[in-house]
Homo-oligomer: A and B are copies of this chain.
Amino acid sequence: MRRATIADVAREAGVSPSTASVVFSGKTPVSEATRGRVLAAAASLGYTGPDPRAASLRRGRSGIVGVVFEEYLGAAFLDPVKTLMMDGLADGVAPLGAGLLLLRDDIAGSGASLTTAPLDAAVLIGCSGHLRASLDVVRARGIPVVVVEGDAGDDVPRIGLDNREAQRQAASHVCTLGHRRVAVVALPLSGGWERGWMPDDARITVDVTRERLAGAREVFPDARVWAAAGSFIAEGLEAGRALFADEAERPTAVLAQSDLLAAGVIRAAEEAGLRVPEDVSVTGFDGIAVDGLAPYELTTLHQPAAEKGRAAGRAVTAMIEGGQAASIQFTCTFREGNTTGPRPGEPGAAR
C-alpha cells in the first residue's frame, strides 16, 4: 500500500492538488472552509505533509547546509571552539530553515560525500591541504561555499580571525611584565600528529598555528616552540613537562596557542612545584571556559567563536539567496586573568 500523496488528499477533500498544496505551504490565502476539509482529509489518510524529496526537487533547495571537517567527526567536537562555532552556525542558518549535515573531507570515504549530498551550501572548517580538494568538488557543483579559518582562493568568502595580531598582543603583555625567557606551546603544525620541539626548518601547514606563532615571534623571535599533537589538556601537560624539565632552560612565561594547552601547562607547573603566576606565567588562546580549571582564570585572547559560526551561517544564507558574501575578519579581545604576573625577581614581583 502506497503512502498517500498530496493528490490523494486533494481528491479526498474534493479540491484540486494545487489548492491542497497551498494549504500546506501557506503561500496563498485559502478559505477557512476548504482549509479545514483538506486538513481533515490529510488526517484521515495519514498524510503528514509534502514529501521533502519532491519538494526540494521542485524548489531547487534541500534546506541542508553541509559542514565539512578535516578530521574524524568525533575529534571535531572535542574542541570547545568548534562546538561553539557549530552553535553559532546553527543560529546563522536558522533563517533558511536549514539543517546541518556533518561531512568529513576524505573524498574517498564510503560515507555520504560532498559529491552526492543534496546541499544548498557548504561550510569548510579548518586549514589543511585536504580542504583544497573538497573545495574543488563543491565549487564544481556550483554550490555556495564559505571557509572558516582556512585559506581558500580569493573568490571564496572566508571567516577569519586576527590570529597573528592577537597573539602578538599577548606576547607583548608578557614582555611588558619583564619576561624574556619565553616558550611557545603550539597547536599541531600539520595534519600529522607529531609532538615535540619544533625544528627550525619545520613546515607549518596549519594556518592557525603559523599565524599565532608569527605573532609570538614578533615579540620573541627566539622563543623555543613545543608543538602539541592536538588541543587537549593532556597535550599541554606533556608540553609543560618538557618545558619545565630542564631547570636551566626553564621559561618564566609560556604562550600556549589554546586554552586547553594552557590548562595542561599550568597543571604541569603545579606538578613541578612551580606557582602560577609567581614562578611562571601562562597565557592561553580562545577564551573558552576550561572545565575545572578554577581557581585559575587564564590570561587569554577571547575569540568570538560562536560569532564566527553565525557569520558563516549568514554568509551562506546570503549566497543561497543570490547575494554576495564578503570575507570577514574577527578580532580577539585580550583578557587578563590571574595566570600572568611579573617576571620572578622583577621589581614588583611577589616575594
- Residues on A lying within 8 angstroms of B by beta carbon are 3, 46, 48-49, 51-57, 60, 62-64, 66, 72-74, 77-78, 80, 83-84, 86-87, 90, 93-95, 97-103, 109-113, 115-119, 137, 140-142, 232-234, 236-237, 260, 263-264, 267, 289, 291-292, 294
| B residues in contact with A57, CB < 8 Å | 51, 53-54, 56-57
Pair A87/B72 contact, Cβ less than 8 Å: yes
**Chain B minimum-CB-distance residue to A235:** B291
CB distance from A117 to the nearest CB of B (A): 5
Point out the residues of chain B lying under 8 angstroms from A140, CB to CB: 46, 48
| A74 / chain B contacts, CB cutoff of 8 Å | 83-84, 86-87, 90
- Minimum distance in angstroms from A295 CB to a CB of chain B: 9
Given contacts A52-B116, A56-B57, A232-B291, 9 further A-B contacts (CB under 8 A): A53-B60, A66-B99, A73-B86, A74-B83, A98-B111, A99-B111, A100-B112, A101-B101, A236-B292
A291-B260 contact in complex given A90-B73, A118-B53, C-beta closer than 8 Å: yes
Are A52 and B233 neighbours in the complex by a CB distance under 8 Å?
no
- Expressed in whole angstroms, the minimum distance between the Cβ of A243 and any Cβ of chain B is 16
Does A94 lie within 8 Å of B111, measured CB to CB?
A: yes
Which residues of B are found within 8 Å of A49, using beta-carbon distances?
115-116, 141
**Are B98 and A112 neighbours in the complex by a CB distance under 8 Å?**
yes
**Bound CA span A137–B142, Å:** 34
Contacting residues, chain B, for A99 (C-beta < 8 A): 66, 101-103, 111-112, 117
Q: Contacts A62-B118, A116-B63 hold; do A93 and B111 have CB atoms under 8 A apart?
A: yes
Cβ A142 vs Cβ B3 within 8 A: yes
The answer for the CA separation of A78 and B80 in the assembled complex, in Å, is: 7
Do A77 and B72 have beta carbons less than 8 Å apart? Answer: no
Find out whether the CB atom of A117 lies under 8 angstroms from the CB atom of B63.
yes
- Asked whether, in the complex, the Cβ of B118 is within 8 Å of the Cβ of A52, the reply is yes
Give the distance in Å from the alpha carbon of A116 to the alpha carbon of B74 in the complex: 26
Q: What is the minimal beta-carbon distance from A55 to any residue of chain B, in angstroms?
A: 8
Given contacts A97-B110, A237-B294, A264-B292, contact A78 B72 (CB under 8 A): no
In the complex, what residue of chain B is closest to A100 when comparing beta carbons? B102
Provide the residues of chain B in CB contact with A109, threshold 8 Å: 94
A73–B94 alpha-carbon span in the complex (Å) = 13
Could you say which residues of chain B place their CB within 8 Å of the CB of A137?
48
Q: Is the CB of A291 within 8 A of B233?
A: yes
A-B contact pairs, 30 of them (CB 8 A): A48-B140, A49-B141, A51-B57, A52-B62, A64-B118, A73-B86, A73-B90, A74-B83, A74-B86, A74-B90, A77-B77, A77-B83, A77-B86, A93-B111, A94-B109, A95-B110, A97-B110, A97-B116, A98-B111, A99-B101, A99-B112, A99-B117, A100-B102, A101-B101, A232-B291, A232-B292, A234-B291, A234-B292, A236-B292, A292-B292
